[in-house]
Amino acid sequence: MTRFIIPLIAVVLFFLEPVFSLFSPIELGDVRYTLVPRFVIVYLVFIASYYDLRKAVLYGLSFGLLYDMYHIDIIGIYTFLYPLICFLAFVIIRQVHRSTGTVMLLSLFMVVLLEMMSYLFASLIALTSINFEVFMTARLVPTVIANVIFIILFGWLFKNLIYKRVVEKQAGM
């Protein structure tokens, strides 16, 4: 049963991202704060650290490709970034003690990393002209706050679900 739930959650999160981004940008005072939901990558980091790197990279590739084709219209950015982030998460989690807290922290760190890389790409191909300072205050910080809420709310759920699947697999199902 959990076998199907794991990819199903990824699909649901993929569809929820653009729904939540309908609420952004938020205008407070005179500044527009952009919130970027990065639910899929958080989930993929959990998969990479608790379950299987191969699966995580595979999901990363396919969801990255869908993301590029559907939203960005430039194929190759997230198709590359998602698996890369999964791989980095896997490399880092091997060095540290794996507990729910560290994995949550790691997924947050990966969201920051992904956001930085996407900023790098966007400024490289001239999609944006905002400078780094504005990027930090008007985009990165609100994004981190929004995703922290998401991670705190759903981190435990993800961990338990994936753990259940691992146990199931070890039992030979």
Partner 1 sequence: MPRFFSNKRLILLLVGVIVLVALIAFSLKDRQSANLPEKMVKDVVGFGQSLFSKPAHSITGFFDDIDGILNTYEENKTLKARLTEYASTEVELADIKEENERLRKIIDKKDDLRAYDPIQATVISRNPDQWEEKIIVDKGENQGVKLNMAVMTANGLVGKVVLVTKFKSTVELLSTENQNFRVSAMIPGEKDIFGLMEGYDPERGELIMKRIDSGFEVKVGQKVMSSGLGGIFPKGLLIGEVTEVSTDDYGLTKLAYVRPAAEFSMLDHVMIAKRQSATVKGTDDPGTSATEGEDGS
Residues of this chain that bind partner 1 (CB under 8 A): 11-12, 15-27, 30, 32, 34, 36-37, 66-67, 69-80, 83, 91, 94, 118, 122, 125, 127-130, 134
For partner 1, the closer CB: 134 or 167: 134
Check: CB of residue 155 under 8 Å from CB of residue 100.
yes
CB of 173 to partner 1, least distance (A): 29
Closest CA to 150 of 45, 38, 74, 64: 38
Considering the complex, state which of residue 53 and residue 165 has its C-beta at the smaller distance from partner 1: 53
Q: How many CA atoms lie within 13 A of 116 on its CB side?
A: 7
Angstrom CA distances, 75 to 25, 79, 107, 126, stand at: 25, 7, 24, 16
Q: Closer CB to partner 1, residue 14 or residue 158?
A: 14
CB of 159 to partner 1, least distance (A): 24
> Helix, strand, or coil here: 31?
strand
Q: How far is the CB of 152 from partner 1 (least distance, A)?
A: 20
Cβ at position 17, least distance to partner 1 in Å: 4
Please state the φ and ψ torsions of residue 33, each to the nearest 5 degrees.
-100, 130
CB of 172 to partner 1, least distance (A): 30
Q: Given the complex with partner 1, which of 16 and 113 has the nearer CB atom? A: 16
Task: Determine whether 37 is exposed, middle or buried from the number of CB atoms within 10 Å of its CB (0-12, 13-18, 19+).
Answer: buried
Our CB check for partner 1 shows the closer of 76 and 101 to be: 76
